Structure 1
Amino acid sequence: MMDLLWWEIAILIVAGFGAGLVNVMAGGGSILTVPVMMFLGMPGPIANGTNRITIVAHNASAIATYLRHGVPHAKLCASLTAVAIPPALLGAWFSTRLNNEQFEGLLAFVMVAVLLLMQAPQGKKSASAEDQPQNLVLGHVLMAAAGFWGGFIQIGMGFVVLPIMHRVMGLSLVNTNILKVFIIFTYTLLAIFVFAATSEVLWVVGAIAAIGNVAGGIVGARLTLSHGEVLIRRVLTAAIIAMIIKLLFFP
């Protein structure tokens, strides 16, 4: 258990809020919460496990909304979730085997990769047309690989899952976002117990960040400003660059 000062609690809530906002508007919110937890003195592997509480909370709030309208492709959602769970648990276990120096080096590499992905052209986000599942075998194989990554570090998972379901499997972006929430919620909820059993999870710290995360998700979902996503991407880019410099040159 970390003894938190009032300003550290405030920073966690603000970081959680920013992550929730980013997850809705752009994706990659964990890239804010994990580094902030590390800045507050938490070892990287423990921050990685503790951050899963915010992910579960964020996705649970989204599920509560989606369930009112029904789950599209429910059987496909169940099968994709089922193939993602075992590799996600394995990935979580592998993550707990890293020491702090190894985790920081990996995190710096991942943040550079996510930064490059964010700058790549995104294309028009149309609701797509057909929405007829295709390439089912390939889609499930790729989702299993994505599950390992989600369990291992989670950061940038949205950039991995969305192309699998949208571009490979032919689902609309609307339904892809809905299914993504159910898949990530389920394997992350189970992965938390792997972290708790093999490493450590700071439940109170995670719950504090989760408060901001849920609030940020709600605000992000309702934000209709035309340049909202552009602004968030710019702020997130600046934050990522600052953290990369810190990890590489001021360990």
Structure 2
Amino acid sequence: MEIAIVLIVGIIAGFVNVVGGGGSLITLPVLILLGLPSAVANGTNRIALMVQSIVAIGYFKNKGYFYPKLSVILGIPALVGSILGAKFAISMSDALFNRVLAIVMLVVLVLIILRPEKWFLSEEKGEDLSKIRLIAASAVFFAVGFYGGFIQAGIGFIIISALALITGMSLVKINSLKVAVTLIYMSASMLVFIFSGKVDWVLGLALAAGNALGAYLGGIFTVSGGDKWIRIFLVVTVSLMSAKLLGIHKILF
């Protein structure tokens, strides 16, 4: 039953990731609500994210958008930060992690609704990859890596906003760098969870399979206004799961 639930949730998350973004806001709390300790749910969720990143890199590379040198420049500080973030997540109690996750989910939900990356993306601004800009980006990506190693949920919106603001890159280039850098730091944080015994491989692989199918379905989703309905779905679903993690439902009902 758990495998079936995780597979279905994976399909939904993969679909959401392609159409609107924020799939981990669903998968991570669902794994916790299924009874996995927070650290195990956190590590298990990363299996699907690793597979997703590898597939996405292949797609961007085939389209001619692949920047290995820049990915490494941003990926190294993110990798260091992710190791520290993963260790921090593992050391945290389940109760505290669940509260932090619930609050983060609500904050990221606001980012999904407001889409602040649009404020920084501008075709007229032009790309600036000067030395000082790259140093600033590297410093920011250490923090990005820490957050990614810690929780990961909604990291895509943070990366897009940061790169758009600091470098003025195009959205396509930013998305290509996003998946490449994510794979670099995710590999390191994943090892921390594996060596700590915090991964459920059966549920993780089921989640990855569901994600792959959901991503495919999302890719062919062409219904007008689909992105709008995905956002409404996220608002309702994430709000309910946040309330559950915070225990607010006990007060209300």
| TM-score (norm. length: structure 1) | 0.90
**CA distance in 2: counterparts of 1:208 and 1:197, whole angstroms:** 21
- Name which of 169, 172, 177 aligns with 2:170: 172
- Name which of 47, 54, 59 aligns with 1:60: 54
- Report the Cα offset of residue 15 of structure 1: 1.1
1:184-195 aligned within 5 A: 184-195=182-193
The worse-fitting range, judged by mean Cα deviation, of 126-135 and 194-203 is 126-135
- Name which of 83, 86, 96 aligns with 2:90: 96
The equivalent of 1:77 in structure 2 is 71
Q: Structure 1 stretches of 5 or more lacking a match?
A: none
Cα offsets for 1:149-179 (capped at 9, x unmatched):
0001101101210111122111100110111
CA contact (8 A) 1:24 1:217 kept: yes
- Report the Cα offset of residue 198 of structure 1: 2.2
Q: Alignment length, in residue pairs?
A: 245
The equivalent of 1:211 in structure 2 is 209
1:222/1:204 CA distance change after superposition, 3 Å: same
- Name which of 228, 234, 240 aligns with 1:236: 234
Structure showing the higher helix proportion among its residues: 2
Q: Structure 2 stretches of 5 or more lacking a match?
A: none
CA contact (8 A) 1:59 1:184 kept: yes
CA contact (8 A) 2:120 2:168 kept: no
Matched-pair identity in %: 36
The equivalent of 1:29 in structure 2 is 23
Residue type of the partner of 1:97?
A: S
- Report the Cα offset of residue 72 of structure 1: 4.0
1:121/1:187 CA distance change after superposition, 3 Å: closer
Q: Runs of at least 4 residues of structure 1 off by over 4 A?
A: 124-127
Cα offsets for 1:10-64 (capped at 9, x unmatched):
2211211121122222222111111111121111121011100010011111122
CA contact (8 A) 1:127 1:174 kept: no
Aligned-residue Cα RMSD (Å) equals 2.0
- Report the Cα offset of residue 222 of structure 1: 3.3
Aligned to 1:96, what secondary structure does the other structure show?
helix
The worse-fitting range, judged by mean Cα deviation, of 115-124 and 81-90 is 115-124
The equivalent of 1:202 in structure 2 is 200
1:83/1:121 CA distance change after superposition, 3 Å: closer
Cα offsets for 1:158-214 (capped at 9, x unmatched):
121011112211110011011101111121122111011124110111000111111
Aligned to 1:67, what secondary structure does the other structure show?
helix
The equivalent of 1:133 in structure 2 is 129
1:217-228 aligned within 5 A: 217-228=215-226
**CA distance in 1: counterparts of 2:12 and 2:149, whole angstroms:** 22
CA contact (8 A) 1:127 1:173 kept: no
CA contact (8 A) 1:96 1:199 kept: no
The equivalent of 2:161 in structure 1 is 163
The equivalent of 1:116 in structure 2 is 110
